[in-house]
Structure 1
């Protein structure tokens, strides 16, 4: 699943992608470029949603569903809701189906995944980005969540990032673990604008979610592990050579 993302440019770049985008009333859009954020830190992130037109706000990554009804359960299980399978959005009686009309977009400049190599002790981390856009959108859903924070007792706006079955390249990179063969639900700019339209039918939603980002639109390279503490700077994205690493096949 996708738990590691980056936004290495200025927030103004999102407005350039969406000329009709406005700032949500009262929103604090101060956001410094970041080369890596892990979902399990439950960071705030710039999110596009529709409220009488597209608006940019900051939401917290990681919903807290009602079933997590104690601080202990939140601590143990919240990370399970950082991602949502796109197939679940239209599946009745799921949390994601219940909030399918609360759609949003997560702007990123790239994301990280780990590849298992037979015979290797450690997985190999990759950074993946669009090869023709500095910023691209991932489909998401948002909801109000109980914070379980005594200093912030009011519900907080949160979001989850949608994933889908991986394309050829991502099947080879994200090839291990319980959620192997998944990738973020990347959207073209046109589909991104469609995703947040307020009156989409279930058929419209299904049509958007059928899109698969082509492998040849991705650029990717190996990096150092992003699960180890390091400065939040360009060094996170530096290419690291792993001797004997089998190539990712593109044919």
Structure 2
């Protein structure tokens, strides 16, 4: 599952990469590390406004829940991610999947990697270090507030190697990272339910990724890990021991 992301690209870089403009001046605040339970913003491009980049809270919420209840809601119903295989069967996720799809713009994300029984945070990014889009769904609440979830799927061999500890169901997961050629289609309002299922199954990016360990400060709630060195490689001697 994906609960930690990074977005360090400059405003103009994102606008050029996604052929879209930020909704308002001054709304973009890049970050090295965003833990999904914090109150930073994801940056999304919505199905109903495909040339505008908007801020969104992370974790889709129903329209009848006030954003002030976000912390309690996520504590009870962690919606930072949504399983693509089940969203169309969900009372919360079905309508957004059919009508409110979005691109979630990131420059990288973090996953735990297990080595000799211990967990180490790894940073994952495109080898070309370009920003990319995860498939997302959103709700538009009152006061022009957006909430969004990242769609996940069964991990491929690469991501299974990085995030190598299965969940409680014995499954390995990864976020759906859209291929550039599929980004506009994901926002297509005319997609039928069958088309959307195909998109979730077959639109994964062809880009190459790289990964490396980073500081365990990423795991700490007592240390500010939103800092430049958190996306830099960190050397763990025990991971380089030769037998």
User: Normalization by structure 2: what TM-score?
Assistant: 0.83
Give the Å deviation of 1:63. Answer: 2.1
- Residue 31 of structure 1 deviates from its aligned partner by 1.9
Question: Distance in 2 between the 1:75 and 1:104 partners?
Answer: 20
Conservation of the 8 A alpha-carbon contact between 1:47 and 1:104: yes
Tell me the number of residue pairs that the alignment of Structure 1 and Structure 2 aligns: 232
Instruction: Give the equivalent residue in structure 2 for 1:85.
Output: 83
SS of alignment partner, residue 204 of structure 1: helix
Judge conservation of contact 2:6–2:108 (CA < 8 Å) in 1.
Answer: yes
Q: 2:233 aligns with which of 219, 227, 239?
A: 239
From the two aligned structures, give the one with the greater helix fraction: 2
User: Is residue 49 of structure 2 the alignment partner of residue 63 of structure 1?
Assistant: no
Deviations 1:153-203 (A, max 9, x none): x57321111111111121122222437511111011111111111111112
User: Is 1:168 matched with 2:167?
Assistant: no
Which whole-Å deviations, capped at 9, do the CAs of 1:216-247 have from their partners, x for residues lacking one? Answer: 71100011121222353321112112234389
CA RMSD of aligned residues (A): 2.7
C-alpha distance 246-172 of structure 1, shift in aligned 2 (>3 A): farther
User: Partner of 1:4 in structure 2?
Assistant: 4
Quick check: 1:54–1:196 contact (8 Å CA) kept in 2? Answer: no
Question: Aligned residue for 1:32?
Answer: 29
2:10 alignment partner, SS class: coil
Seen in structure 2, the aligned counterparts of structure 1 residues 2 and 23 have a Cα distance that, compared at 3 Å, is same
Q: Which residue does 2:101 correspond to in 1?
A: 103
Structure 2 vs 1, CA of residues 23 and 33 (structure 1 numbering), >3 Å: closer, same or farther?
A: closer
Instruction: Provide the residue aligned with 2:13 in structure 1.
Output: 13
* CA deviation map 1:131-150 (0-9, x unaligned): 1351000010000357xxxx
8 Å Cα contact 1:29/1:58 also seen in 2: no
Pick closer, same or farther for the CA change 1:52–1:106 going to 2, 3 Å. Answer: closer
Identify unmatched segments of 5+ residues in structure 2.
none
Q: Distance in 2 between matches of 1:23 and 1:111?
A: 22
Alignment of structure 1 residues 172-187 onto 2, 5 Å: 172-176=161-165, 177-178=167-168, 180-187=171-178
User: Given the alignment of the two structures, is residue 195 of structure 1 paired with residue 192 of structure 2, yes or no?
Assistant: no
TM-score, L = length of structure 1: 0.81
Matched residues in 1 for 2:21 and 2:138: separation? 18
| In structure 2, distance between residues paired with 1:231 and 1:126 | 14
